[in-house]
């Protein structure tokens, strides 16, 4: 058990070295000394490993011994790693034995990091400095040139390995000259985050957190965000509670001349993710070196001429609201109704609908903001009173001597009888032997509706129920009954009056 714990502790202690520390030539030279490589390959045998320049110069039959960023393709590695076919001749070390797994991992990491001589070395090639997995199409990738000299980007490209693919599904060629210590920004062609102006845009830059993205120099992938050939699931790779989906990742400055480390995407990514990058919230891009805060004046906003506040409109009408921006005409305008976004831009267009029986009040706010971090958004509000239309669902029911208008939405009701104006109300009761034409009118600020009914009072009514109200009930069963005797009718009338509080006028017989 003690041996197992000791081995586990040694493994845990060694793992961070693979990602947190950058090995340099001196670390590799010490490994060469362990296996007496410099005995044969000091100043003879074609390949000299005793100095940095001689090692990179290569020798013998395999060409350059080191291919920066391509450990498994470097002849030095193929010679000492039995799992990889040898480029020529027998394996090393000469005389048998093998290089330990820990030493082999250090040599490979050194090569994959660019095979740098020491901490004061410039980078061997470009590197990915930021990855933005923003909302909607807000996808960006930032490239840094730490080589100490300008680079012609012709021949460089971005390769997309989507959903665990092992080969590129899209390639985005780069172009232009990238100055030493300069940054180059690639963005989706529909990306719109304030403060970022891409150097090039491409629709195929469309990752979703679980896609590997590689920087290719024309020969090999020199830096990869993600693991090629592996799909981590919808949330992407994770470091703690922060995932590669819906977050911004900024490469950590390691404090050396080549300030950013590289990852080649051939192994598990979650562990190096946390040592290579810092996680930020979605759409947070102020940490990018390509970010340029706006210096525009703070926005002001007013309603266009002709807008009244409060405003009154009718159901079914159109709403056309426009605002005017002040000095900063590039500000973004969002429209809110009770905290919910209902539109964007300087104009709001809508068709209004009020299906209720009363006026509805809406609080509409337009908010203008820009990318200047010192600015407070400007806002302006409007109170909109939306009136219903006169009820077009009303109906007229004739009940013998009485005709009534049935409606639940009435602002004002009037009626005329045989062309002459009469008292306002919901019902008209005719006198004995009266024949009349009754016209009901419902009106409000949004228009009028008219309904016509004929009343003829010459005998017993044929329909005794008005929208659920029984107006003559001889035996209290809430159904119409013909009058049997005066006492029953009087008692029924009393019950009806108490129940319905004069909603219907009493017929006369």
- Domain final position from 253, 281, 309: 281
In this structure, are 138 and 107 located in the same domain? no
In this structure, are 407 and 381 located in the same domain? no
Please state the pTM of the whole predicted model. Answer: 0.58
Distance of CA 94 to the CA centre of its chain: 59
In this structure, are 374 and 404 located in the same domain? no
Question: With contact defined as beta carbons under 8 Å apart, do 446 and 453 qualify?
Answer: no
Q: Return the pLDDT at 8.
A: 35
Mean pLDDT of 435-449: 85
Return the structure tokens found at 72.
Answer: 């498994």
Chain segment 114-124, per-residue pLDDT in tens: 989 889 999 99
More confident position, 174 or 478: 174
Q: Which of 386, 387, 357, 384 is closest to 447 using CA atoms?
A: 387
- Can you tell me the distance from the alpha carbon of 45 to that of 52, in angstroms, rounded to the nearest whole number? 17
Q: How far, CA to CA in Å, does 241 sit from each of 73, 144, 270, 274, 281? A: 36, 27, 11, 11, 12
In this structure, are 378 and 408 located in the same domain? no
In this structure, are 140 and 274 located in the same domain? yes
- Can you tell me the distance from the alpha carbon of 131 to that of 260, in angstroms, rounded to the nearest whole number? 14
More confident position, 128 or 37: 128
In this structure, are 413 and 320 located in the same domain? no
- Can you tell me the distance from the alpha carbon of 262 to that of 507, in angstroms, rounded to the nearest whole number? 96
In this structure, are 230 and 138 located in the same domain? yes
What's the chain's average pLDDT? 81
Residue 340 belongs to a domain with what CATH number?
2.60.40.10
In this structure, are 52 and 171 located in the same domain? no
Residue 414 belongs to a domain with what CATH number?
2.60.40
Using DSSP's 3-state secondary structure scheme, residue 455 falls into strand
> Does any domain span residue 292?
no
Beta pairing class for 200-201 and 183-187: parallel
- Can you tell me the distance from the alpha carbon of 375 to that of 472, in angstroms, rounded to the nearest whole number? 73
- Can you tell me the distance from the alpha carbon of 428 to that of 88, in angstroms, rounded to the nearest whole number? 112
Q: At what angle do helices 101-112 and 25-34 cross, to 10 degrees?
A: 150
Q: Return the pLDDT at 317.
A: 87
Chain segment 85-140, per-residue pLDDT in tens: 887 777 777 766 788 888 888 888 888 889 898 899 999 999 999 999 999 999 99
In this structure, are 87 and 137 located in the same domain? no
Q: Return the pLDDT at 170.
A: 97
> Does any domain span residue 482?
yes
In this structure, are 418 and 363 located in the same domain? no
For residue 58, give the H/E element and its range: none
Number of domains in the chain: 4
Q: Which of 34-43, 291-300, 384-393, 500-509 has the lowest mean pLDDT?
A: 500-509
Question: With contact defined as beta carbons under 8 Å apart, do 69 and 220 qualify?
Answer: yes
Q: Over 355-371, what HEC string results?
A: CCCCCEEEEEEEEEECC
> Does any domain span residue 8?
no
Q: Return the pLDDT at 6.
A: 37
Show the domain range for 411: 395-500
CA atoms within 13 A on the CB side of 252: 15
Instruction: Give yes or no for residue 508 having a pLDDT over 50.
Output: no
Q: Return the pLDDT at 327.
A: 74
Question: Which residues lie closer than 8 Å to 410 by C-beta, 6 or more apart?
Answer: 391, 426, 442
Instruction: Give yes or no for residue 490 having a pLDDT over 60.
Output: no
In this structure, are 146 and 276 located in the same domain? yes
Instruction: Give yes or no for residue 273 having a pLDDT over 90.
Output: yes
Q: Return the pLDDT at 100.
A: 87
- Domain final position from 334, 365, 387: 387
């Amino acid at each position: 058990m003690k041996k197992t714990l000791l081995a586990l502790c040694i493994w845990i202690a060694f793992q961070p070295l693979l990602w947190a520390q950058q090995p340099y030539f001196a670390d590799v030279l010490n490994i060469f000394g362990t296996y007496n490589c410099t005995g044969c390959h000091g100043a003879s045998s074609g390949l000299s490993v005793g100095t940095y320049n001689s090692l990179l110069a290569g020798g013998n039959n395999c060409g350059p011994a080191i291919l920066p960023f391509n450990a498994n393709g470097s002849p030095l590695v193929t010679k000492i790693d039995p799992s990889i076919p040898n480029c020529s001749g027998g394996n090393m070390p000469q005389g048998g034995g093998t290089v330990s797994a820990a030493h082999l991992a250090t040599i490979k990491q050194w090569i994959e990091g660019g095979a740098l001589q020491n901490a004061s070395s410039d980078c061997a090639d470009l590197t990915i400095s930021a990855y933005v997995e923003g909302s909607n199409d807000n996808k960006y990738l930032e490239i840094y040139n730490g080589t100490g000299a300008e680079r012609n980007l012709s021949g460089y490209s971005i390769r997309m390995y989507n959903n665990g693919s092992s080969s590129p599904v899209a390639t985005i060629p780069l172009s232009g000259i990238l100055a030493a210590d300069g940054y180059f920004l690639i963005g989706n062609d529909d990306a719109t985050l304030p403060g970022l102006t891409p150097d090039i845009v491409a629709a195929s830059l469309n990752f979703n957190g679980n896609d590997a993205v590689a920087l290719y120099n024309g020969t090999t992938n020199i830096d990869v965000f993600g693991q090629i050939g592996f799909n981590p699931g919808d949330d992407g790779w994770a470091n703690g509670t922060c995932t590669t989906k819906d977050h911004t990742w900024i490469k950590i400055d390691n404090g050396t001349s080549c300030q950013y480390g590289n990852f080649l995407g051939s192994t598990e990514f979650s562990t190096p993710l946390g040592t290579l990058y810092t996680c930020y919230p979605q759409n947070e891009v102020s940490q990018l070196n390509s970010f340029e805060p706006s210096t525009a004046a703070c926005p002001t906003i007013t309603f266009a001429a002709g807008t009244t506040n409060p405003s009154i409109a009718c159901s079914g009408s159109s709403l056309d609201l426009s605002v005017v921006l002040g000095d900063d005409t590039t500000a973004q305008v969002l429209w809110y109704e009770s905290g919910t976004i209902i539109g964007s831009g300087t104009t709001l267009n809508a068709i209004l609908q009020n299906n209720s029986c009363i006026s509805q009040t809406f609080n509409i706010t337009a908010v203008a903001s820009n990318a200047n971090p010192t600015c407070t958004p400007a806002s302006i509000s409007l109170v909109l009173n939306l009136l219903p239309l006169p009820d077009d669902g009303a109906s007229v029911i004739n009940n013998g001597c009485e005709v009534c208008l049935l409606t639940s939405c009435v602002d004002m009701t009037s009626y005329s009888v045989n062309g002459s104006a009469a008292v306002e109300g919901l019902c008209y009761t005719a006198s004995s032997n009266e024949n009349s034409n009754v016209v009901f009118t419902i009106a409000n600020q949004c228009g009028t509706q008219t309904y016509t009914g004929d009343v003829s009072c010459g005998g017993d009514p044929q329909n005794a129920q008005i929208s659920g109200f029984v107006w003559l009930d001889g035996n209290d069963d809430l159904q119409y009954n013909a009058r049997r005797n005066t006492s029953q009718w009087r008692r029924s009338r009393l019950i009806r009056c108490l129940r319905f509080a004069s909603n219907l006028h009493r017929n006369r017989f």
